Amino acid sequence: MVSPAVNTKKMTMIEGVRNAMDEMLKENEDVIILGEDIGVNGGVFRATEGLHEKYGEDRIIDTPISESGIIGNSIGLAANGFRPIAEIQFLGFIYPGFNQLMTHATRLRQRSLGRFTVPVVVRAPYGAGVKAPEIHSDSVESLFTHMPGIKVVVPSNAYDAKGLLIASIDDPDPVMFLEPLRCYRSNRTEVPDGKYTIDIGRASVLKQGDDISVFTWGAMVMDTMKAIETLEEEQNMSCEVIDLRTLYPLDKETISASVQKTGRAAIIHEAPATGGVSNDVISLINDTSFLYLRAPIQRVTGFDTPVPVYSLEQEYLPSAAKIQAAIVNAVNF
Amino acid sequence: MIEDFPMQQIINEDGEIVDADALNDISTEKVKSFYYKMLCARMLDKKCVNLQRQGKIGTYVPYEGQEAAQIGSAVALEEGDWIFPTYRDHAATLTFGHSMRNLLLNWRGRPEGNVPPEGVNIFPPGIPIASQLLHATGAAWAEKKHGSDRVSLVYFGDGATSEGDFHEALNFGSVFNIPTIFFNQNNGYAISVPMERQMKTKTIAQKGLAYDMDCLRIDGNDVLAVFAATKASVDRARANQGPTLIEAVTWRYGAHTTADDASKYRDQNESETRRETTDPLLRVQRYLQTQNTWNEDWLKTIEEEITDEIETAIAEMEAYPEPDLRQLFDYVYDRPTWTIQEQVNQHLAVQGEE
Ligand SMILES: Cc1ncc(C[n+]2csc(CCOP(=O)(O)OP(=O)(O)O)c2C)c(N)n1
Ligand SMILES: [Mg+2]
């Protein structure tokens, strides 16, 4: 947490991400960044802006267009002493690197009984709602939560992004760090100077409430907060909103404590329903809090379809009306 | 190695004839038709950049400067052949028979943008870099297995040669002697990364040697050289003589996309100089002028004709009916699964029928 003596600055999430990398590059010579267009160009979203000038091209490395090359080399670099941050330009382009993630990054420690380890952070922007071209917008976080051996982190604001990214770089194991595109510049939070960490695996209670626990992450945090604001004004109910922030491992204590308090739960995510992380949250609630439930757990998700071209993407994204209807369903059950 | 791959030209920057023999096969009418197509492509591209600025279309990918490479290659194909474009190759798809309206709809975020006219084999643009090369070999392989002489041509950039899919496609093409033309547009940059940082080799053509494949390097801004080289490769592929890798050396004048700021990574003066020197349209104009077959009235007439065509297509794009939600659900599978069916119903229950 922030001590009063530390200066803070209001930042967008992309600034928080950059600031975290800057802190870690400054602190540890072994931290390096690999990615496409991250050097002079500063990244297509400007996440690495200024870092190339500051730390040089031996540490801020423009790679050839090769996701397998970026992730595969990061594994070798990490196993031999470096702390690579691998930037994938859009999550939709990570698939050439999947082999490296699934068959190596996630299991090198286990295969070598701890002799070789992979402290790599793979960063990638993702999600719909910014009118990006096709293929740029899917939310596939559960492809990674389903990979044993990697942790999955999704910040939704600058403060969390900085603390979680620093924790991820410090983490001895691979971390998939997913950056919701819609959050990059849509909100600003106070961010302390210097190094601080937020524990991976800790959710954040954004708002206390009594009637229902609403779990969400990424860009849907903003939409959920907005939907709930009007709902609470119009109807006499109080919602607890929890930003999960880490999708693997889930924050068992926070999730179960909240559900045991409210007796109801709704999960909101952009990703398709089938195989979505909501299913793991439901399992966790089932395992820990079944007898506390007063209503079936609600889900508001994307469809079991690819994210469409941008003229239809607003239809794809969970709307305020759907979030509100799900909450009302549970509370009035 | 670069000496082994001189940049082949038929006419040079000044419109002078470099290869008279090759030129013999190309009539002045044909040259003028190439010019027409390049002008149409350029005017459309400029228009699209403006439409994006006005908010009428989304992020746009300009190809200005690469018209000769795209058009010279597309005109070398015939009906029944296949093309596999990237996001930057709509001058090629337009030339190969895509409808201008649908092409515009693509930039307006409409799925119709991916749908070519019936009987025209144009795949939706390959967005994950280099992935489309393997579809091109697969489709041409099918033609070969069917016993036809149709071929495929696949577009890709300099940056794409760094992906595994590029190498895998060349290898398949070569191992199975597949009638595919691997048409590389080396525009010098992959977003911000110049060719020298993308690869150690000075040419892309030489990468074909590793696959024992015909490979050549041409001036991609000389529409005649592009046409002749592609035509020869296509003929070889049709005659079951295997694939070819063509490196067409070119240049994009503008930014990578309308969301990119090229001045962050290169001196845009180079583009301005090139407009006066290596430009693909200007060189044809200079050539026609030396032949005394250039005519300003003709230029005016075709400019008007093209303006009309573009304005009509834009009007059609703007008048196009609103997107239909069904497009989101009905084409994921042949028949929607129960999961999708239920999701549609739930969606309509909350959102109402629009
Ligand atoms: C697999 C994959 N990685 C990254 C990207 C992001 N990206 C889009 S275009 C581009 C540069 C491609 O350069 P080049 O192949 O030279 O083609 P050009 O854009 O110059 O036509 C990159 C890296 C992508 N689309 N797909
Ligand atoms: Mg290029």
Determine whether A136 is an active site residue: yes
**Is the CB of A65 within 6 Å of ligand 1?**
yes
**Pairing of β A31-35 and β A265-272:** unpaired
Q: How far is A85 from chain B (nearest CA, A)?
A: 19
**Residue B171 shares a structural domain with residue B80:** yes
pLDDT digits (tens, 9 = 90+) for B305-354: 999 999 999 999 999 999 999 999 999 999 999 999 999 999 999 887 54
pTM comes to: 0.97
Contacts for B201 with CB less than 8 Å, ≥ 6 apart: B1, B207
A321 in the same domain as A299: yes
Closest CA to ligand 1's atom 13? B190
> A141, A160, A192 — which closes off a domain?
A192
Quick one: B249 and B179 in the same domain? yes
Q: Is residue A88 over pLDDT 80?
A: yes
Query: Confidence band (pLDDT; 50, 70, 90) for B199?
Result: very high
Domains in chain A, number: 2
Mean pLDDT of the residues in chain B: 97
Question: What is the structure's pLDDT at B354?
Answer: 47
Identify whether residues A224 and A119 lie together within a single domain.
no
Q: B339 and A273: CB-CB below 8 Å?
A: yes
End-to-end CA distance of chain A: 39
The pLDDT value given to residue A5: 77
Shortest alpha-carbon distance between residue A138 and chain B (Å)? 13
User: Do residues A179 and A225 both lie within one domain?
Assistant: no
- CATH number of domain containing B20: 3.40.50.970
- Residue B336's identity, in one-letter code, is P
Computed over every residue of chain A, the mean pLDDT equals 97
Task: Report the C-alpha gap between A104 and A109 in whole angstroms.
Answer: 9
Distances (CA, A) of A45 to A182, B77, B89, B144, B208: 12, 39, 24, 44, 35
The residue-averaged pLDDT of B259-271 equals 95
Query: What mean pLDDT comes out for the span B267-274?
Result: 94
Contact list, B347 vs chain A (CB under 8 Å): 303, 315, 322
Taking CB atoms and an 8 Å limit, are B325 and A315 in contact across chains?
A: yes
Same domain (yes/no): A150, A237: no
CA of A124, nearest ligand number: 1
What phi, psi does B31 have (nearest 5°)?
-60, -45
Do residues A150 and A63 share a domain? Answer: yes
User: A291 CA to middle of ligand 2, Å?
Assistant: 59
Please tell me the distance from the alpha carbon of residue A316 to that of residue B29, in angstroms, as a whole number.
50
Reported as a single tens digit per residue, the pLDDT across B28-76 is 999 999 999 999 999 999 999 999 999 999 999 999 999 999 999 999 9
In B158-267, at which residue ranges do the beta strands (DSSP E only) sit? 180-186, 189-190, 193-194, 214-219, 244-249
Residue A101 gets which letter from DSSP?
A: I
Helix runs in chain A, H state only: 13-27, 51-55, 67-79, 98-100, 108-111, 141-145, 158-170, 220-234, 252-262, 278-289, 313-316, 320-331
For residue A270, being part of any structural domain is answered with yes
Residue B351, pLDDT score = 83
Residue B191 Cβ < 6 Å to ligand 1: yes
Ligand 1 atom at minimum distance from B61 CA: 19
What pLDDT score does A282 carry?
98
pLDDT (tens digit, 9 = 90+) per residue, B94-117?
A: 999 999 999 999 999 999 999 999
The answer to whether B182 touches B134, Cβ cutoff 8 Å, is no
Question: For residue B321, is the peptide bond before it cis, meaning its omega torsion is within 30 degrees of 0?
Answer: no
Q: What is the extent of the structural domain holding A142?
A: 9-192
- Contact of A46 with chain B, judged by CB distance below 8 Å, is answered with no
Going by pLDDT thresholds of 50, 70 and 90, the confidence category of residue A313 is very high
Continuous H helices in chain B: 20-24, 28-53, 67-74, 90-95, 100-107, 132-146, 164-175, 195-198, 223-238, 269-276, 280-290, 296-319, 326-329, 338-351
Total residue count of chain A as it appears in this document: 333
Q: Is B195 in the pocket of ligand 1 (CB under 6 A)?
A: no
A66 found inside a domain: yes
